[in-house]
């Protein structure tokens, strides 16, 4: 197994490597390349001085200019004619000057290419055998106003840099040690500042994996780590919420399963022990058993449908149909099974829409069932259909219940959610209905939402395109929650709206 490398170790190695690279560059430029760099700079200096002297030739103050240039560049100079006779001579180097010590080398031989006219300018490195040192000789030909040709000769020393190199080495050893110590300290501080928050987050993340969703992730003051901590806090909060909803779902479904099973068992025992010979009572009790069995079947069917949608992804097929007829058919079924409720339909004329008819029936069923569960004591539910200014058909299902507080509106579309409001009547359902509504409408890119006013009730709505104006349905693919994701976010933007 490949050994894992820690961030702390990697940061330390990186900083130390960076420090070593800087030290090596300093050593290279200050020691290894010092002599080459010095010679290059002296060569550039003598060329510059030669041009300045050449520009001053023929001026009345040529002598003063020559002296000034030689002093500035620490050089010796001489101006000779074609026969080698000197006109001007300035010595700024004393015994180290080569052009003023003809015994040590032949100046004429060095500047011969310029004297003969073979070259206009030259720079040559020569060695002083007497002092075992190096020097630069510069020669350039110039013509005076009267036509006389003269040669400008300059000499610059290439002083040994060994003593300077020794001083720099001793300083660099000290600098290297200091930089190494500073790099170790800074790398330790930086690596700890980065690794400690990550280690804390890692430890708490292990607790999260064990189901401890209350862990509080704190960053270390760095933007990336703070963002990671916020993401984990958000994930922990979401997982905690999902866990609470899961437990509530288990409790809800257990209750919804237990109630009909208890009644089925009780009535079956009554038929066996008491009323088996009474056809009328037996028939009534069998009807109760059948009704409760239907409730169980409906609940199981919902769970199976959600499981299939999550696993396979439901495909929606748009087709034209009369929405008013579907509203009347669904409300008629509820009126038959809930005769004590008043379900009022308000339809604004016929309207043929285009959508997946089966899923719209399911949406109507879930929204009307939700309204029946949460309507007020007057047990009234209102279903309406009208055309909007945008040319869409808007369907609204309104109840007269207690309404939904604003802080709960974003949650009502989540799975397993049930309103925390207390009702005098028991609420039937597992909290999956509105999640199914959201999945079906979002997958078809249909606008939907809810308007609610606490104490006055809620109005759930969705809109459908007319069959003649309907766009093709988007390709449906299951999202991470099992709902079908829409390619556009327009529908979800209109989900929640609270009336003041």
Q: Are 153 and 78 in contact, with CB atoms under 8 Å apart?
A: yes
Give the tokens for residue 326: 């579907």
Q: Are residues 150 and 196 in the same domain?
A: no
Residue among 379, 451, 377, 378 at smallest CA distance from 412: 451
Torsion of CA 326, 331, 336, 341, to 10 degrees: 180
The domain that holds 332 is classified in CATH as 3.30.565.10
Q: Are 462 and 444 in contact, with CB atoms under 8 Å apart?
A: no
To 5 degrees, how large is the angle CA 55–CA 60–CA 64?
A: 75
pLDDT band at 237 (very low <50, low <70, confident <90, very high): confident
Q: Are residues 251 and 118 in the same domain?
A: no
Query: What does the pLDDT average to over 402-415?
Result: 83
Write the DSSP symbol of residue 90.
Answer: E
What is the domain range of residue 412? 315-498
β-pairing verdict for 342-347 and 477-478: unpaired
pLDDT in tens, 133-177: 778 899 998 888 777 888 899 988 877 666 676 777 777 788 888
Distance from C-alpha of 432 to C-alpha of 250, rounded to nearest angstrom: 12
Question: Is the pLDDT score of 423 beyond 50?
Answer: no
Q: Are residues 343 and 194 in the same domain?
A: no
The domain that holds 72 is classified in CATH as 3.30.450.20
Distance from C-alpha of 498 to C-alpha of 500, rounded to nearest angstrom: 6
Q: Are 407 and 450 in contact, with CB atoms under 8 Å apart?
A: no
Burial of 214 per CB tally in 10 Å (0-12, 13-18, 19+): exposed
Listed residues 311, 326, 355: the one ending a domain:
311
Listed residues 269, 287, 311: the one ending a domain:
311
Position 58 in a domain: yes
Write the DSSP symbol of residue 276.
Answer: T
Question: Is the pLDDT score of 125 beyond 80?
Answer: yes
Question: How far apart, in Å, are the Cα atoms of 284 and each of 263, 280, 290, 334?
Answer: 13, 6, 10, 21
* Sequence-ordered list of residues with C-beta below 8 angstroms from that of 286, at least 6 positions apart, any chain: 267, 271
Q: Are residues 405 and 429 in the same domain?
A: yes
Distance from C-alpha of 178 to C-alpha of 170, rounded to nearest angstrom: 13
β-pairing verdict for 496-498 and 448-453: parallel
The proportion of the chain whose per-residue pLDDT surpasses 90, expressed as a percent, equals 18
pLDDT band at 328 (very low <50, low <70, confident <90, very high): very high
The domain that holds 255 is classified in CATH as 1.10.287.130
Distance from C-alpha of 239 to C-alpha of 243, rounded to nearest angstrom: 6
Position 217 in a domain: no
Q: Are residues 122 and 93 in the same domain?
A: yes
Distance from C-alpha of 372 to C-alpha of 73, rounded to nearest angstrom: 103
* Sequence-ordered list of residues with C-beta below 8 angstroms from that of 426, at least 6 positions apart, any chain: none
β-pairing verdict for 380-387 and 342-347: parallel
Position 63 in a domain: yes
Question: Is the pLDDT score of 425 beyond 80?
Answer: no
pLDDT band at 450 (very low <50, low <70, confident <90, very high): very high
The proportion of the chain whose per-residue pLDDT surpasses 70, expressed as a percent, equals 79
Secondary structure (DSSP) of 344-413: EEEE-S--EEEE-HHHHHHHHHHHHHHHHHH--TT-EEEEEEEE-TTSEEEEEEEE-S----GGGGGGTT
SS3 14: helix
Write the DSSP symbol of residue 106.
Answer: -
> What is the model's pTM?
0.44
Q: Are 327 and 347 in contact, with CB atoms under 8 Å apart?
A: yes
Query: What does the pLDDT average to over 428-440?
Result: 74
Distance from C-alpha of 79 to C-alpha of 89, rounded to nearest angstrom: 7
Question: How far apart, in Å, are the Cα atoms of 143 and each of 67, 76, 117, 259?
Answer: 20, 21, 12, 122
Position 125 in a domain: yes
Q: Are residues 327 and 441 in the same domain?
A: yes
Give the tokens for residue 256: 């919804």
Q: Are 397 and 368 in contact, with CB atoms under 8 Å apart?
A: yes
Q: Are residues 274 and 423 in the same domain?
A: no
Q: Which residue has the higher pLDDT, 470 or 396?
A: 396
Q: Are 229 and 406 in contact, with CB atoms under 8 Å apart?
A: no
Burial of 25 per CB tally in 10 Å (0-12, 13-18, 19+): exposed
Position 191 in a domain: yes
pLDDT in tens, 311-322: 656 778 899 999
Question: Is the pLDDT score of 451 beyond 70?
Answer: yes
User: What percent of the chain is helix, strand and coil (3-state, nearest 5)?
Assistant: 50, 20, 30
Query: What does the pLDDT average to over 244-253?
Result: 70
Average pLDDT, the chain: 78
Query: What does the pLDDT average to over 266-280?
Result: 78
Query: What does the pLDDT average to over 466-480?
Result: 55
Domain count, the chain: 4
Position 218 in a domain: no
Position 73 in a domain: yes
Q: Are residues 353 and 404 in the same domain?
A: yes
Q: Are 466 and 351 in contact, with CB atoms under 8 Å apart?
A: yes
Listed residues 182, 207, 232: the one ending a domain:
207
Q: Are residues 384 and 493 in the same domain?
A: yes
Choose the weakest-confidence range: 88-92, 145-149, 326-330, 332-336: 145-149
Position 425 in a domain: yes
Q: Cβ atoms within 10 A of the Cβ of 240, count?
A: 16
pLDDT band at 492 (very low <50, low <70, confident <90, very high): very low
Distance from C-alpha of 371 to C-alpha of 331, rounded to nearest angstrom: 12
Q: Are 46 and 119 in contact, with CB atoms under 8 Å apart?
A: no
Q: Are residues 98 and 134 in the same domain?
A: yes
Q: Are residues 335 and 443 in the same domain?
A: yes
Q: Are residues 22 and 45 in the same domain?
A: no
Residues belonging to the chain: 500
Res 480: pLDDT: 36
């Amino acid at each position: 197994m490949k050994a894992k490398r820690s961030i702390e170790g990697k940061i330390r190695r990186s900083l130390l490597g960076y420090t070593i690279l800087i030290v090596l560059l300093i050593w290279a430029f200050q020691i290894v390349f010092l002599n080459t760099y010095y010679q290059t700079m002296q060569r550039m200096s003598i060329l510059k001085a030669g041009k300045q002297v050449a520009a001053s030739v023929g001026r009345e103050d040529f002598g003063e200019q020559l002296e000034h240039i030689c002093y500035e560049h620490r050089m010796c100079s001489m101006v000779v004619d074609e026969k080698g006779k000197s006109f001007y001579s300035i010595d700024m180097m004393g015994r180290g000057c080569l052009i003023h010590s003809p015994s040590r080398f032949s100046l004429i031989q060095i500047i011969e290419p310029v004297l003969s006219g073979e070259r206009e300018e030259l720079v040559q490195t020569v060695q002083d055998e007497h002092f075992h040192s190096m020097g630069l000789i510069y020669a350039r030909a110039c013509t005076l106003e009267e036509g006389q040709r003269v040669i400008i000769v300059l000499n610059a020393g290439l002083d040994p840099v060994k003593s300077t190199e020794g001083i720099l080495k001793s300083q660099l050893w000290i600098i290297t040690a200091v930089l190494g110590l500073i790099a170790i300290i800074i790398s330790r501080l930086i690596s700890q500042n980065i690794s400690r928050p990550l280690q804390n987050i890692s430890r708490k993340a292990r607790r999260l994996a064990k189901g401890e969703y209350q862990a509080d992730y704190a960053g270390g003051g760095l933007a990336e780590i703070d963002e990671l901590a916020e993401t984990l806090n958000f994930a922990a909060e979401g997982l905690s919420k999902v866990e609470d909803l899961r437990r509530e779902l288990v409790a809800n479904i257990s209750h919804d399963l237990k109630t009909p099973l208890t009644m089925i068992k009780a009535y079956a025992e009554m038929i066996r022990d008491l009323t088996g010979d009474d056809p009328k009572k037996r028939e009534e009790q069998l009807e109760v058993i059948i009704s409760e069995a239907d409730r169980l079947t409906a609940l199981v069917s919902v769970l199976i449908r959600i499981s299939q949608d999550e696993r396979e992804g439901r495909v929606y097929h748009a087709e034209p149909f009369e929405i008013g007829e579907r509203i009347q058919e669904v409300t008629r079924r509820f009126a038959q099974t809930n005769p004590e409720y008043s379900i009022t339909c308000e339809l604004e004329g016929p309207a043929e829409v285009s959508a997946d008819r089966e899923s719209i029936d399911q949406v109507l069923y879930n929204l009307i069932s939700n309204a029946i569960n949460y309507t007020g004591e007057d047990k009234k539910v209102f279903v309406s259909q009208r055309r909007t200014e945008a040319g869409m058909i808007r369907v609204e299902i309104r109840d007269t219940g207690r309404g939904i507080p604003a802080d709960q509106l974003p949650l009502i579309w989540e799975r397993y959610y049930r309103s925390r409001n207390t009702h005098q009547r028991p609420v039937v359902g597992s909290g999956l209905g509105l999640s199914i509504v959201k999945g079906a409408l979002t997958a078809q890119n249909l606008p939907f939402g809810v308007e609610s006013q606490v104490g006055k009730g809620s109005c759930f709505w969705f809109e459908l395109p007319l069959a003649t104006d309907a766009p093709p349905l988007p390709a449906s693919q299951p999202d991470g929650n099992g709902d079908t994701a829409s390619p556009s976010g327009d529908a979800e933007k209109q989900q929640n709206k609270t009336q003041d």
